[in-house]
Structure 1
């Protein structure tokens, strides 16, 4: 079975190419991608060829994957412009990168206060945010001591591996 990152990469390549239809089959999984004139649409169908319980679980997984790549395509278009606008080329600032692909959350719950705000002081072990990946909430630590100078992503935004999340002025 393909990993979600591999599927996203295939979608990016198809969107950038002149190919209108693409079908991929491997280990009982089938992925169909089709572009139409008014915009790209993605259809993914999982067709496991093994046991019956797996067949019942696969359609739910296919629905999740069908929606998630559409979000990725939208974020890819927004991310370069937003990142170049906000990036600061100062060698003294430390970037806290995302250690994985996932969804950025500034707090532990929607009604909870943010872990950090612009101007807050942090230590190396201070939790600065959560990145959710595959229904797991991963706490991200600052890894350096200093002051949060800039928060580079919005709450609920999809982030890529290595994408800078915060700029920190080190002490």
Structure 2
């Protein structure tokens, strides 16, 4: 989600009678709440996870101030941005469009699971394209920390399939 989209959401929520709004898509979570404080303007809270967003922070202003412009103070920000440090440094991506399979057959164990160590020539999955089953190799050395695709799901060229923490 882009900063401009978040600003538009804040403005729409501010102008509406909605008190709380939650949105989640592709690992990004946005939560906006309105609350009123005596002698203060409405306050909005925002939490963004997995996607760093830098935006101006809006602060509360007291009614005793004569300046029409809201004052921004670094000490007490109302908008919070939580940024998680990634626990991976490589991604195994799909080299083609096709159907993703974690195992060589439906009754077999998956090639790899979270926590498994892989080498650059380790087979991690199969992508079926035009009735051809293509074994996909990790092409990196490390540990699988996340599987991003469900078994049987269609994948696109360049789509991340696994996240790997290099050794």
Give me the TM-score of the superposition, normalised by structure 1.
Answer: 0.49
Matched residue SS, 2:25: helix
> Which residue pairs with 2:124 in the alignment?
128
Q: Which has the larger radius of gyration?
A: 2
- Across the two proteins, how many residue pairs are aligned to each other? 92
Question: Deviation string for 1:72-113 (max 9, x for gaps)?
Answer: xxxxxxxx9346579786385201000000000000000011
1:156: Cα distance to partner?
Answer: 0.2
* TM-score relative to the length of structure 2: 0.50
Greater helix share, 1 or 2? 1
Instruction: Report the CA distance between 1:117 and its aligned residue.
Output: 0.3
Work out the CA distance in 1 between the residues paired with 2:26 and 2:151.
Answer: 14
Residue aligning to 1:165: 161
CA contact (8 A) 2:88 2:145 kept: no
SS in 1 for 2:99: strand
Which of 84, 103, 106 is the equivalent residue of 1:107?
A: 103
In the other structure, the counterpart of 2:113 is 117
1:81 aligns with 2:25: yes
Cα distance in 2 for residues equivalent to 1:128 and 1:107: 9
In structure 2, runs of 5+ residues without a counterpart are 1-23, 30-48, 51-83
CA contact (8 A) 2:103 2:111 kept: yes
Moved over 3 A (4+): 80-89
Alignment root-mean-square deviation, CA: 2.4
d(CA) in 1 for partners of 2:28 and 2:133?
A: 28
Take 1:125 and 1:140, find their aligned partners in 2: how far apart are those partners? 9
Q: Distance in 1 between matches of 2:101 and 2:126?
A: 5
Instruction: Show structure 1 runs of 5+ residues with no match.
Output: 1-79
Alignment CA distance shift 1:96-1:84 (3 Å): farther
